[in-house]
Chains A and B, each alone.
Chain A
Amino acid sequence: GDSVTQMEGPVTLSEEAFLTINCTYTATGYPSLFWYVQYPGEGLQLLLKATKADDKGSNKGFEATYRKETTSFHLEKGSVQVSDSAVYFCALSDPASGSARQLTFGSGTQLTVLP
Chain B
Amino acid sequence: DVKVTQSSRYLVKRTGEKVFLECVQDMDHENMFWYRQDPGLGLRLIYFSYDVKMKEKGDIPEGYSVSREKKERFSLILESASTNQTSMYLCASKYGSSSYEQYFGPGTRLTVT
A100 lies within 8 A of chain B by Cβ: yes
A-B contact pairs, 28 of them (CB 8 A): A6-B42, A36-B104, A41-B106, A43-B92, A43-B104, A43-B106, A43-B107, A44-B92, A46-B102, A49-B101, A89-B42, A89-B43, A93-B99, A95-B98, A100-B97, A100-B99, A101-B31, A101-B48, A101-B94, A102-B33, A102-B45, A102-B48, A103-B102, A105-B42, A105-B43, A107-B41, A107-B42, A108-B43
- State whether B98 touches A44 (Cβ < 8 A): no
- State whether A51 touches B99 (Cβ < 8 A): yes
- State whether B42 touches A95 (Cβ < 8 A): no
By the criterion of a CB under 8 Å from any partner CB, how many residues of chain A are at the interface?
25
Q: Which residues of B approach A to under 8 Å, CB–CB?
A: 4, 31, 33, 40-45, 48, 50, 58, 90, 92, 94, 97-99, 101-102, 104-107
Instruction: Give min CB distance, B99 to chain A, whole Å.
Output: 4
Instruction: Give min CB distance, B53 to chain A, whole Å.
Output: 16
